[in-house]
Structure 1
Amino acid sequence: MKKTILGLVFLISQGISAQLYVGVQSGIGNIQHDVSGVATANRLGAALKVGYIYSLTSHIGVGTGLEFSQYKQEASFMNYSGKLSSFEVDPSTSAFQYEVTTSGYNEKQTLHALQIPVFFQYKTNINKGIDFNFRAGAKYFLPLKYKIDAKAESVKGTAYYPDVNLFIDDLPQYGFGSQTNYAATGEYDTKGVFMSMFELGFTFDMGAKNSLYAAMFLENGYGSILDQKDDKSFIGYNPTSVSDRKANGLYSKDKDAKLRLVGFGVTLGWNFK
């Protein structure tokens, strides 16, 4: 990355022609996971883009920029009712097995991120005022916030203390029991990853200094964006009440869960020559 930035600075200092672009990107933004029993739906992605392309020759250029992206999707159990267990510690430091059973559980996920692309562009004229464009390169994907909005028709948390063979399912003042119309927010811990990027499209001259860019894009992430330290219950344990239980999210049950980004769709941009 440092070498690329230094190379771009050198190109600018040499007075090589630059083209500014702004644009939007929209399509399918799939956050793929390997967590068993979890289904996702309504996978959407969008981004705002700004950057420069520096011409090395009449056909070849190198570009970079900054993008603000948003991914949206929903996650739920594959079955209407879901049950997961985890190990917790109560205020007296006694360990127990915490089991959460839900009906109609659903979490809406919103991921905001910054992306820094570095790519090569090949272009060639195919007709008067129309150029063919192909871009290929990489992006650094830096998550800013991965928010969870969770809801369920009912939630029940029970405890089993194996040391004393004790099962508790109705002690609300200690966090065990049922709750209806559950709603809570949470956030996944994340880290940055690299992505490959490809675009295939056309540029249409709209005047001496401006042109319209339209393309299809494909992006593929490498490595997981999750950065979890411990296994957690997807709905957290509250030691003083059956309400106000934190939404940790379905991916939190496995600290080694892998989340990989894949996106494809349409890019529209405006170039300033």
Structure 2
Amino acid sequence: MKKDSLSLKDYFKTQEVFQLKWKESWQCYETFPKPDVKEISKYYDSKNYISHQKEAKIFKDKVYNWVRNHMLNTKTKWIKNEVGTSVNLLDFGCGVGEFVKRANQNGLIAEGIEPNYEARQIGLKNKQNIYADLSDIDNKRFDVVTLWHVLEHLHEPDLFLKEIRNYLNKKGKLIIAVPNFESYDAKYYNQYWAAYDVPRHLYHFSKKSISILAEQNGFKINKTYPLKFDSYYVSMLSEKYKTGKIRFQWIWNGFLSNCKARKNKEWSSLVFVLDLV
């Protein structure tokens, strides 16, 4: 039985308090009050927003960048396993285009969508094809569309799933990575769990909620992959939010979360490979 509401702060930027309310139809949590499209940008306006970091100057960020580099290669391997090489790929919410660049380096034909102007300009300077919106792509279909920790940021994820069908080939695949509120680290840290990341994360998913959203919008889950490093990074931030400092307890909690996930498959973050129905 899920809680009807959970109160938590925007620990990353504003310290404002938000509520997570249970959305029965999707079996997920929803953030309230939900900033509208025009005002949400102020919650991303920070030099420390990790998705747009260009240079690592401290040890924590160097470790993060090493893991990120490893995962960029891992993600392209997953895609090759699913669809092979020399396929057209669209990375939605691509940030500065790091995955787009790596995918192109590894034999895929990749482009990106990034609404954030500053991040998009960095990607363009790195000579990657990155557009501001889906409407900028004319009559083009892709073999793969990826959303790496993006779906939880969308105001209307169901409408997005309906729309993105028009950009996939008949045998195309939609690959979605999201945090999982059923993981051990989510339950341990509760309102301090960093992957809630309100109000930037507008919805909060589990395997069940992604399955429901997929089925309601013409997809089915074909396969799942774990993002094993996420439990450590999220636990590190969560420990800071909970105690005010980064204690080494986060290492144990990240490890314990993965150990439990080996049995129940409830990893801190999950990657879903969706097929068109």
The structure with the largest helix share of the pair is 2
Decide: shared fold, TM above 0.5: no
Q: The TM-score by the shorter chain falls in which range?
A: under 0.3
TM-score calculated relative to the size of structure 1: 0.24
